[in-house]
Amino acid sequence: MSLLNVQGLKKTYLSRFGTNKVEALKDINFKIDPDEFVAIMGESGSGKTTLLNLIATLDKPTSGQILLNGHNLSHLNNKELSKFRRDNLGFIFQDFNLLDTFTVEDNILLPLVLRGESYAEMQMKLEIITSQLNLIDLLKKYPYEISGGQKQKVAVARALITNPKLILADEPTGALDSKSSDELLELFRIINKDGQTLLMVTHSIKAASMANRILFIKDGKIFHQIHRGNDSDQELYKKISDTLIMLSKGN
Amino acid sequence: MPINYYPKLAFESIRKNKQLYIPYLITCILMVSIYYILSSLIESPAIKSIYGADIIITILSLGLWVIIFLAVLILFYSNSFLIRRRKKEFGLYSILGLSQLNIVYIQFFESLFIALTSLIVGIGLGILFSKLFEIGLLNTINGSINYDFTVSVNSIVLTIILFIGIFFLLFLNSIWQVNTTSINQLLRGESHGEKPPKSNWFVALLGLASLVTGYYIAVTIESPLEAFTSFFVAVLFVIFGTYLVLISGSVLFCRILQRNKKFYYKLNHFISVSSLVYRMKRNGAGLASICILSTTVLVILCTTVCLFIGSEDALNLRYPKDENLRINFKSVENLSKDNLNQVKHYIDNLVHEYKTPVLEPFSYAETSFLAVEDGSNIDFNSKVFEEMTVNESNNILTVTLVGLDEYNQLTNQSKTLNQDEVLIHNLRSNFKSKTITINGIQSFKVKEIVTDMFNSVDQYANMMPTITIIVPNLIKTTLSLNLVQSENTNFSYNYSFNVNFNSERQVKFNKEINKALDNSNFRSQTGIIYSIGESKEENRQSFLMLYGGLYYLGLILSVIFIFTTVIIMYFKQISEGFEDQKRFEMMQKIGLTKSEIKKIINSQMLTVFFIPLILAVLNLMFAFPVIQKLLLIFNFNNNFLFLLTTLGCIFIFSCFYVLVYKITSNEYYKIVS
């Protein structure tokens, strides 16, 4: 059974006074299986972020449905959605979204506190995740004291600590330098190998070429997809860039 | 840029920031109109024409200074807040190519606009309401009300000069604030990484110690005179302590909570405590100001209300009967029964001339002198009083000797004394010794410290600690002490009685009786060297002036203090709202429900809001005994009434505080969600 099943998804925005309709997503259908690492690519305004917001339950679709692990998300009310989010999803954002009033340690623990776990449990999970991501030295620091790459690593730890079914990453390398980007992507690959399902929205061909499958969105529709198959990163990179050129030509 | 563009730009930016500028404008307008109203009250012909109005005018002029001080404080506070919020905007102007001078122009027109609006509207409202305030004041002090509408040009000019000055300073401050920051910093505005506040044990403990010291001084003050100076010191300690405790102690407290992992890592505590640390660091000073202002309001309100309600009591204490005479004699022998009867008879005859009886007469003889208390020894010749050290002069007291027979008669008792025994009564003093030595020679056993005392006029006329020594025989004891009449030593006869006259006649009669006692023949015949007759009616008006004036000023000041508190709270809420906006957005993404967020915000706000109120009430509780003693100076000793008014004031103030909390927290929610 697939982990995420998106069927006939539509999202229409009304302009401010309700006169102009903007169709952000027209008819989106795709599935993600457990252990997959999927990237979604597309130009600005293609509907990538809208799609991610819908999957993240931060927004509601106009029509169509999203099934995550067999649950139909549109059947949940606001309170259940919040609970669903904290139990099943992990988030990684472009601008990290770390709370500056918390230490690194507390930022990572935040989702567990929201779930009401005991402190002993939290400590156990924290130890595992921080030793895996090499964050132990940073625990007592505050977000403004560490670099962008380190911040994103902390965000990854925060997303992973709840053992989510699916991690949603929105332009995770967008605010990072190339070295930090490479490290982060390598990290994504490792956690994916360990069995973590990932869905990443990105502009960057480099980032996309780390995924197993790449979906291309244009004008609110899925235009094309590439499977890695047995391609190396370089081969995949070439295929992606070719696809992008093709997309921009309008074929 | 064409010059007429600046006013437009300035006006637009005020309009766009109305969430900030409306409260700021209201503050300015209110300060202007209150200042105008108070200064026009001082100038008011209707008030000037009242007998004894100079007391009121003095009190109101003092109030005017308090208002100037508050106006400067609060306008600078809210103005600097405005600038902080608008830095980003000015940064954008610079990027768009406006020079520093261009921005100064914009700021100038903004300031001009604010100044003109607040002066015009403020003075307008002031003129409208000044009559209302005048009627209110006249009503409080029983003055005759007229309905002539007057505009005080003098006050208008004064108000304009003062506030133009303040607005000019505010303008300079905003230029300085914006021009000393680089464009880059301006653009980033407030949102740069803030260092986590460090818990500072030393500062927190210093604050706590200062608070405790203040409280300790307040509760250990014994005499009202001491209260005057020590209370001031205690207040300084408490203010200092409140600031330190709220700024540093609160951070320390949160840090201690954070160290308790089981407590800290709970949903409600986790977010609240960690953001409280930052909030207290930023707003500790604001909260302390709210706390001090609240305490001030409570103290002012409960004292002035109490004094006003109790002014009739105080009048009766000070002037027990309609006519109160005090007659001093050359020597103690003049206090003989025969001589005093002659004097009494002489006075009674003056009343009888009006064909009315002397009602409820009340008289006694006494010897009184100033002395220095030193344990059980009372020394009256030790030094010239003018040359005393502060410490010695703190121990000065008035000693009054009264005969046992008169004491028994006036207090309806039948105490007995041996020749070497005395009774002691304390007023504002604290004599406890078992024996009493006067001037180092004459010693008496203190048989009893009595609490019953008849109402002696002189004791309430001054504010010195007074001990009354009840001796077996007044004349004999006085003679044995070798007391000689002097400026500080008097042999007096006190005679008070009621009369059957209307109040006008009473005032007239008082003049007559003073004149009659001035008769030199009668004086030499009876040994009188000085006499004074005081009429209750004549003094009622000046009592009303003093207490009514204080009460009225107390009310006005309370309103302003409360308003200042509201403004500080409002700006605090708004600034926190802007800061927390992003934080809560993010938490929602991670999976916090709206209702959880609301719950967290609520618990946080409650804590932050009610800390100052609780601390203010605590401050008031410790000030309570001191104020009680200070009120004694004003001849107010109705402790029950004081307790009642204090509780009433706390209740009313708290209701108001909760209301303000509701309103301002709504603003906060609006911003956050």
Chain A residue with CA closest to B266: the answer is A113
Region of poorest pLDDT, from B65-79, B277-291, B320-334:
B277-291
Selected residue with higher pLDDT from A203 and B115: B115
Q: Rg of chain B over CA atoms, in angstroms?
A: 32
Residue A57: per-residue pLDDT: 82
**How many Å apart are CA B348 and CA A109, to the nearest integer?**
93
Q: Which residues of B fall within a CB distance of 8 Å from A56? A: 589
Cβ B267–A114 below 8 Å, yes or no? yes
Residue B187: per-residue pLDDT: 65
Taking only the tens place, the pLDDT of each residue in B341-378 is 888 888 888 888 888 888 888 888 888 888 877 777 77
Size of interface A-B (CB pairs under 8 A): 72
Residue A142 has its nearest CB partner, among B196, B586, B592, at B196
Span B297-314, average pLDDT: 85
Cβ B267–A106 below 8 Å, yes or no? no
Asked whether residue A63 carries a pLDDT value surpassing 70, the answer given is yes
Asked whether residue B283 carries a pLDDT value surpassing 80, the answer given is no
Region of poorest pLDDT, from A202-211, B255-264, B457-466, B527-536:
B457-466
- Residue B265 forms contact with A (CB below 8 Å): yes
Region of poorest pLDDT, from A20-34, A140-154, B478-492:
B478-492
Chain B residue with CA closest to A167: the answer is B590
Selected residue with higher pLDDT from B333 and B163: B163
Chain A interface disruption, residue of B593, B594, B673, most A CBs within 10 A: B593
Residue B168: per-residue pLDDT: 95
Taking only the tens place, the pLDDT of each residue in B224-259 is 666 777 788 888 899 899 888 888 888 888 888 888
Span A80-105, average pLDDT: 85
Residue A250: per-residue pLDDT: 65
Asked whether residue A223 carries a pLDDT value surpassing 70, the answer given is yes
- Domain assignments of chain B as residue spans, ordered by start: 1-192, 323-500
- Quick one: DSSP state of residue A73? G
- Residue A97 forms contact with B (CB below 8 Å): yes
Chain B residue with CA closest to A141: the answer is B196
ipTM score of the complex? 0.77
Residue B583 has its nearest CB partner, among A78, A85, A99, at A99
Taking only the tens place, the pLDDT of each residue in B46-75 is 777 776 677 778 878 888 888 888 888 888
**How many Å apart are CA B31 and CA B75, to the nearest integer?**
9
Cβ B590–A114 below 8 Å, yes or no? yes
Q: Which residues of B fall within a CB distance of 8 Å from A89? A: 591
**How many Å apart are CA B313 and CA B307, to the nearest integer?**
9
Percent of chain B with pLDDT over 70: 93
Residue B88: per-residue pLDDT: 80
Percent of chain B with pLDDT over 90: 9
Residue B390: per-residue pLDDT: 58
Name the residue among B300, B372, B289, B356 with its Cα closest to residue B323: B356
Residue B591 has its nearest CB partner, among A93, A97, A114, at A114
Residue B35: per-residue pLDDT: 92
- Residue B266 forms contact with A (CB below 8 Å): yes
Residue B192: per-residue pLDDT: 52
**How many Å apart are CA B130 and CA B117, to the nearest integer?**
19
- The 10 Å Cβ neighbour count of residue B145 is 12
Residue B165: per-residue pLDDT: 95
Mean per-residue pLDDT over chain B, rounded: 82
Residue B194 has its nearest CB partner, among A99, A100, A158, at A100
**How many Å apart are CA B334 and CA B336, to the nearest integer?**
5
Asked whether residue B223 carries a pLDDT value surpassing 60, the answer given is yes
- Residue A106 forms contact with B (CB below 8 Å): yes
Cβ B274–A143 below 8 Å, yes or no? no
Taking only the tens place, the pLDDT of each residue in B2-44 is 777 888 888 888 888 887 888 899 889 989 998 999 898 888 8
- Residue A114 forms contact with B (CB below 8 Å): yes
**How many Å apart are CA B273 and CA B258, to the nearest integer?**
7
Asked whether residue B386 carries a pLDDT value surpassing 70, the answer given is no
- Residue A124 forms contact with B (CB below 8 Å): no
Using DSSP's 3-state secondary structure scheme, residue B420 falls into coil
Residue B111: per-residue pLDDT: 92
Span B424-432, average pLDDT: 80
